[in-house]
Structure 1
C-alpha cells in the first residue's frame, strides 16, 4: 500500500507511489484528462487523471467532483514538465471521502467585503488567506522563540479584571457571579508583578477594546505580547523593542517568501528593517507634522493614524518616538528626571502608513509618585493597593511594552485592513461567524 504524504513533502517522493488527502481546490478537464488541484493545508498539487490510466467509472467520478470535495488520490509523483521545482501526481486511483454537489459560494469573481466576511469560515481556504495564516503563525512562533531564547518566563495574565482602572468607556463589562468584571485591555500591571518574581516575564494572549472605531487598524479582540523586565530603563526598553521587531521580520523573510509573494508584498521595505532604528523625541515629531501639512499640530496633541503616517513616511524603517508629554500618557509611566513634564515612554511606528505596533516605556517605581499619579488621574486608590504593594516591598526600576500581533501581521503582509490578519475578526459591527 502507498503511504500518505503531505503535499509539502512531495519533492522527496519523486518516482514513488504515494497517497495525498485533501480538498479539491480547482479542476480543469478535457476529453481525455482531468487536472485536479488538490490542497491539503501544506500546499496544492496538480493531480492528473488520464482516461487511459483509470477505469471509465473513476474517470467519470473525477469529472463530477464539485469544488471542495474531500478526496484521497493515489499515484506516482513526477516533476512538472514545464515548472521546475513543481511536482504533480499521476493518479491511478481517486477515492471520494465527501462529495460536494452544490455550488461553492466563493467563486473567482469579485465579491464584496461583507460577503467575504460573512463567509469567513470558507474564505480562509483561499490561497491569500491561507498565506496570511501561515505568516501569522510564523510571527507568533518568532515572538515566543525570541523571548524564550533570552531567558524570559511566560506568565499568563488574567482575562477577567475586577476594576475599570482607566475608565469604562473602552472596556467590555460582564457579570462575574453577580459582580461586575471587565475583559482585559492589557496584562501589563500583572507582568510588573511577575517581573519581581522571575526578572524577565512576558504574557501573550487575547485583549479586548470596546472603542467604537471603524478604522482599518482597530479590532475589538486582538492578541498582544507584553514583556516586562526588572532593572531595565527606557534606553534598554527601546533596544529590546527594535531587536524584537527585527528578529520577527528576519524570520518571516527567511521562511515565508512564497506566502509573501502570494500576498503581493514588496519585500524591499521589509529588507530595510535593521537595527538601530531612527529615534526622535515627541517634540521633534510635532515639528515634522508642522512642516508636512499639519501646521495646526501642537505640543499636547496625541497622534492618530494620519499623524503617525506623516511622521513615519520620513523614514525607511520602523521609527521610535519617545518622551511624550506625561499628561497624555497613562499614570504608570515614570517621568523624565531631566524634564518632569515628559514621560519615559516610547512608541515604535511601522513604516508605509501602518502606525504604532509597539507602545511602552519605563514604569514609575516610586511609591509616593505613583500614589500621586493615581490621584491626579482620579482613579480609585483601593483598586491599586495590590499594584502599590509592588513598590512597598522591594521596588525596582523596570520597563516593558506591548506589541499587537494583528497590526504587525498587517504591516508585514502589506494588508489594507487589519480584519484579514486574524482568522475570525471581531469588529464594531461583526460578531460572526
Structure 2
C-alpha cells in the first residue's frame, strides 16, 4: 500500500476564448505537492551539519556524527583537540578526545594532522564557561573514521595556511581562514545579486563567452582559436598573417571582455535584464586591482531620456547598498573575522555607516576642479599630474573618496574621448557623455555605466571617427534599426565588490594595499598561472 500523502488531482480551470488564462491555481498546486510529497525532494545530507549543532541546544547530550576537515590539531598527553570544518559554518566545531577512554586508538588517531578528512561520532556537551565566548558546545569523541590523512611531505605547513602559502599552493586556497570567509561572502553576495534584480523584475540573461566583438574597443582581448595546435608551418596564412577564415568560426574570435553588447539586445525586448558572468582581458601588467579573468554584473534597462543617467546611478547605488545589508545580515561571523585585529578593525562599522550615508553625486568637471585646487595649493602631491580632460588614476579616485569622508561617490559626465564608443553624447555638452563611475574607499572605481547611444547615425559617426572595424559590430548596429529605444546600464566588478565587503587590505613594505587576488580562489593574472 502506498503510504505517501495522497494529493488531489489537479483540474485546471476552464477558460473561454476571450479570457486570459490564470495559472495561479496550477502554480499553488505544484508548490503544495513539492512541499508535501517526499518523493519529489529526496536529497538528504549524509552528515548532520555542525552549523545547526552549534546553534541549537537541542543537541546537548545527544550523539551526532559529523564530517569535516581538520583546521587545527593539538595532541596532548591526556587530551587531544581537533577543530573540524565542514563548510556549513564559518566557525569550526571542537572535538575533544579523552585518551583515558581511547588509549588503544592513540597511535592511529594521533596521525590526524591539519587538513585530514575525518568522520567523528560523539556526544555534544556544553563548553567550559571560560570557552563559551568562543564556542557554545563541543563534541566529546566516541569514534573516528579517518577518510584521508594529509601527507606532511606534500603538505608541510603545520599551522594555519597563510595567503602567501596559498599563492604557492593554490590547492590549499580553501584551507585559508580569509579565503574561507571571502568564499562564503562571495556566495551570499551572488545570491543577493539575484534577489535584488528579481525583486525589481529584471530578467537574468546568459551572454556568450566567445564573441567576435571587442566591447570596450580597447584591443585588450584574449584570442580564441584552434589554429595554434598545429605545427607552425601548417598554420594557414594570408598576406603574412594568420588566415582566420580557416579557423573554427571562419573569422577572428575572442573571449568576452563584457556581456553588455549582447545583453542590450535582450533589454530592447524585455525592458529590464541583467547578466552575471566571467570576463577575460589581456592585461599586460600585474595590478592589485586587475585580473585577466574575473566576474561582472551587468544590468540594462529601458530609460526616459531626460532622467536615464540619474535613474541608472540610483539603481547602481541601491544594488551596492543591498549587497552590503544582505551580507551583514547573513555573514555575521565572517564580517566579525574581517573586522578583527588580524584583518581590518572597524570594517563592520564602515559598512554600516555606508548604509546610512547619502551618496555624493558630482560631475567630472567639478572633480577636476577639486583636484587641481588641491594640487595647486600643495595640499597633496600626485604621482600623475592632474590636467583637464584626463582619465582619473587610482590616486585621484582615492583622494576624492577621502575628501567626501569615505562616502560612496558617483562621478558623472566624463569627456567623450576617454570613454567607450557606445556612450551617449550629453545634450548639454557635445564633448561629454552621459556616463558615470562609482568610487568607494580603498578600491576606487567599482562601477562604470552610461546611457547607451541608441541613435544609429550618432553611433556610426563615433565608430568611424575611432577607426573601429564596423564588421565586428554589425549585430550591434542592427539593434538600432529593429525598434530601438533609450536604454542604459552599468557593469559592477564583482571581485572588487567582494574586496569591499571583506575589507581586505594586503601589505607590501609595511604599507596597506588592496589586492584583488586574495578574494579569488584561483586568481588569473598576467605572467602567472600555476593550475
Correspondence for 1:269 among 343, 350, 355: 350
Matched residues in 2 for 1:165 and 1:33: separation?
61
Please point out which of 373, 391, 403 is paired with 2:492. 403
Counterpart of 2:66 in structure 1 is 20
Equivalent residues, number = 428
Structure 2: how far apart are the matches of 1:319 and 1:42?
A: 36
Equivalences for residues 83-162 of structure 1 within 5 A: 83-84=131-132, 86-103=136-153, 104-108=155-159, 113=164, 115-162=165-212
Q: What are the ranges of 5 or more consecutive residues in structure 2 without an aligned counterpart?
A: 1-45, 226-246, 375-379, 506-514
- State the partner residue of 1:343: 433
Cα distance, 1:168–1:244 mapped onto 2, change above 3 Å: closer
- Preserved contact between residue 293 and residue 525 of structure 2 (Cα < 8 Å): yes
3-state DSSP class of the match of 1:222?
strand
Query: How far apart, in 1, do the equivalents of 2:127 and 2:284 lie?
Result: 52
Residue 388 of structure 1, aligned match among 474, 477, 487: 477
Distance 2:67 2:215 in 1: 52
Instruction: Describe the shift of the 1:110–1:291 C-alpha distance in structure 2 as closer, same or farther (beyond 3 A).
Output: farther
Following the alignment from structure 2 to structure 1, what is the Cα–Cα distance between the partners of residues 131 and 119? Answer: 24
- Pair 1:432 & 2:432 matched: no
User: Is 1:280 aligned to residue 373 of structure 2?
Assistant: no
1:120-159 deviations in whole A, cap 9, x for unaligned?
2113212221111101111111111111111011111111
Superposition map of 1:32-431 within 5 A: 32-43=78-89, 44-54=92-102, 56-81=103-128, 82-84=130-132, 86-103=136-153, 104-108=155-159, 113=164, 115-164=165-214, 166-167=216-217, 169-175=219-225, 177=248, 179-232=251-304, 233-263=308-338, 264-265=343-344, 266-274=347-355, 276-292=358-374, 293=380, 296-315=385-404, 316-351=406-441, 353-416=442-505, 417-431=515-529
SS of structure 2 residue aligned to 1:219: coil
Shift of the alpha carbon at 1:101? 4.3
Equivalent pair of 2:409/2:440 in contact (CA under 8 Å): yes
Query: Taking structure 1 as reference, are residues 165 and 91 closer, same or farther at Cα in structure 2, changes over 3 Å only?
Result: closer
What is the CA-CA distance between 1:294 and the residue it aligns to? 5.3
Question: In the TM superposition, what is the alpha-carbon distance from 1:317 to its structure 2 partner?
Answer: 1.8
How far apart are residue 397 of structure 1 and its match?
0.7
Are the aligned partners of 2:124 and 2:139 in contact in 1 as well (CA < 8 Å)?
yes
Q: Contact conserved, 1:47 with 1:90, CA < 8 A, in 2?
A: yes
Offset of residue 322 of structure 1 = 0.3
Where in structure 1 are there 5+ consecutive unaligned residues?
A: none
Q: 2:402, 2:431 → 1: CA distance?
A: 28
Relative to the length of structure 2, the TM-score reads 0.77
Distance 1:400 1:167 in 2: 17
Shift of residue 261 of structure 1? Answer: 2.1
After alignment, is 226-235 or 23-32 more displaced? 23-32
Moved more, 19-28 or 319-328: 19-28
Aligned pair partner of 1:30 in 47, 52, 76? 76
> What is aligned with 2:32?
none
- Deviation of 1:167 after TM superposition, in Å, equals 4.6
Match of 1:4 in 2: 47
CA distance in structure 2 between the partners assigned to 1:281 and 1:269 by the alignment:
25
Deviation at 1:62, TM superposition (A): 2.0
Task: Indicate the SS of the match to 1:124.
Answer: helix
Q: Is the 8 A contact 1:124 1:130 kept in 2?
A: yes
Q: CA offset at residue 110 of structure 1?
A: 8.8
Deviations 1:147-197 (A, max 9, x none): 111101111111111134655641111215163211111111111111011
User: Residue 110 and residue 248 in structure 1: after superposition, are their counterparts in 2 closer, same or farther (change >3 A)?
Assistant: closer
- Secondary structure of 1:401 counterpart: strand
The CA deviation string for residues 254-286 of structure 1, in whole angstroms up to 9 with x for no partner, is 111211222234212111223641111001111
In structure 1, how many angstroms separate the alpha carbons of the residues matched to 2:160 and 2:270?
54
Counterpart secondary structure, 1:18: strand
Aligned to 2:6: none
Paired residue secondary structure (2:477): helix
CA RMSD of aligned residues (A): 1.9
Q: Cα offset for 1:100?
A: 2.8
For 1:148 and 1:111, how far apart are their aligned partners in 2? Answer: 38
